[in-house]
Structure 1
């Protein structure tokens, strides 16, 4: 299985949310997920929600990780796989899903993550935690594996 993993350090500043979205969009495009694909828009929204939660609720630096796993679907030959997003921070406070009422402006983030991701969860990590979500990728049979996933020679890693 081919894996691309990239990460971005996030400062505890609300402006970092926009920077994280731009960074993720460029990394997705570089992996063959076009900016106009519904998958890209879903992933960018998930990045936005997870990074916003880290910045707003922890006040701590964080690390955003994006991991793309590419496999060939044996039945169609089309690329498929899983995209995993993770945000790790040094706050020991667990995520607290809420249900926003009416016109409330906050409290929908983890509900959105739950609705958009195929899986999500969190794990304690040292003094902090890692919140993650995964979206399964299935492309149409007309898209070739080479177009969807550049050759990674097994594993690539980038830290910014």
Structure 2
């Protein structure tokens, strides 16, 4: 499944709505923590593509086939910018700069690769992981991100 994204901030909301609509047939309920995490990751990656590249992008979503399918959910955003994703250090008053840190903290795995003249940023969530390993409480934890430390507050 994929959605073409224009370089317009209004596309972020459209991408979230599109992703929510795809959850219906996947066996992932809209109020499950996995669904909420997935929508937040869609929002962050599409926002990064729209705001930082100024190029059209493609959102791809690979969902499990049903309620008993314990596979991986994969989200990808491909854009036409060759600019590598760069983590930023955001101070407490900054209104941006936390997107990749959120992706790093929420996804089980993530990365990026060059693709033609552009790049593909991807992340994965393990379907059964939310019941096996409880998520840390909101506002706790310190994580390392490429030599940078951030604290969720």
What band does the TM-score fall into relative to the shorter chain?
Answer: 0.7 to 0.9
Using the TM superposition, give the Cα deviation of residue 127 of structure 1 relative to its aligned residue in structure 2, in angstroms. 0.3
110, 116, 122: which one aligns with 1:132:
122
| 1:71-90 alignment, distance < 5 Å | 78-90=68-80
For 2:75 and 2:126, locate their aligned partners in 1 and report how far apart those are by CA, in whole Å.
12
* Count of residues in Structure 1 that have an aligned counterpart in Structure 2: 130
| 1:148-159 alignment, distance < 5 Å | none
For 2:76 and 2:12, locate their aligned partners in 1 and report how far apart those are by CA, in whole Å.
14
Using the TM superposition, give the Cα deviation of residue 28 of structure 1 relative to its aligned residue in structure 2, in angstroms. 1.2
Using the TM superposition, give the Cα deviation of residue 79 of structure 1 relative to its aligned residue in structure 2, in angstroms. 3.0
Asked whether the equivalents of residues 71 and 81 of structure 1 are also in contact (C-alpha less than 8 Å), the reply is: no
- What is the TM-score of this pair, normalised by structure 1? 0.77
The 3 A distance-change label for structure 1 pair 61 and 81 is: same
Secondary structure at the counterpart of residue 82 of structure 2: coil
For 2:82 and 2:32, locate their aligned partners in 1 and report how far apart those are by CA, in whole Å.
35
Secondary structure at the counterpart of residue 12 of structure 1: coil
Kindly name which structure, 1 or 2, has the bigger radius of gyration based on alpha carbons.
Answer: 1
59, 65, 70: which one aligns with 1:64:
59
**Alpha-carbon RMSD:** 1.7
Secondary structure at the counterpart of residue 70 of structure 2: strand
More strand by share: 1
Q: State the match for 2:135 in structure 1.
A: none
- What is the TM-score of this pair, normalised by structure 2? 0.81
Q: State the match for 2:142 in structure 1.
A: none
Using the TM superposition, give the Cα deviation of residue 71 of structure 1 relative to its aligned residue in structure 2, in angstroms. 9.2
Q: State the match for 1:50 in structure 2.
A: 45
Structure number with higher relative contact order (C-alpha < 8 Å, ≥ 6 residues apart): 1
Q: State the match for 2:31 in structure 1.
A: 36
